[in-house]
Amino acid sequence: MAEAVTTRLRVGIGHDTHRLTPGGPLRLGGIDIPHDHQLVGHSDADALLHAVTDALLGAAGLGDIGELFPDNDPANRGRDSGEMLSEALDRIVEAGYRVVNVDTIVFAEQPKLSRFKPLIEGRLAELLRIESSRVNVKAKTGERVGPIGRQEAITAECVVLLESMT
């Protein structure tokens, strides 16, 4: 029985960093957060959604976000990362998996994210098509050191657990 359980569950990890540039709002976790800086990248640069997308793909053994959505493809320029997450989720569902739970960490010196956590969790749950009780968002600062602490970048990490439905 133990063997059957271990083969039905698969874990994935995701990590992403984007640079900050002056001008808000801050697009993070699929919502716009009032802030004087925003993330820059080829798509909408939503580091948290990118980390979640990579964790999903990794858990299912389906590669990574760069393979699925190449940054040299003009179709992905300025693209809504929610769309990319949704497309990755479609692949996971087609492969016979469902999301058990998602845990995330956002590393940002500013803004303070505590009051936005429920909103981000709600949006992530909506994108992942699961209840928000299965989604957790944690926020850490960079203790004023390194690129996070100097407010040069925001990093996000995610772990996801998938269950095989086949």
Binding site for Mg ion (CB under 5 A): 16, 50
* Closer of 42 and 91 to Mg ion (Cβ): 42
Closest CA to 42 of 13, 63, 22, 71: 71
Alpha-carbon span 52 to 109, nearest angstrom: 20
Edge-first strand listing for the sheet containing 153-164? 37-40, 9-22, 153-164, 97-107, 135-140
Minimal distance, residue 50 CB to Mg ion, in Å: 4
Taking the least distance from each CB to Mg ion, the nearer of 16 and 121 is: 16
As measured in angstroms, the least distance from the Cβ of 161 to Mg ion is 22
> Shortest distance, CB of residue 5 to Mg ion, whole angstroms?
33
Tell me how far, at minimum, the Cβ of 16 lies from Mg ion, in Å: 4
- How far is residue 164's CA from residue 98's CA, in Å, rounded to a whole number? 7
**Within the chain, what is the greatest distance between any pair of CA atoms?**
55
Name the closest residue to Mg ion (Cβ). Answer: 50
- Residue closer to Mg ion (CB basis): 77 or 144: 77
> Measured from the CB atom, is 118 or 147 closer to Mg ion?
147
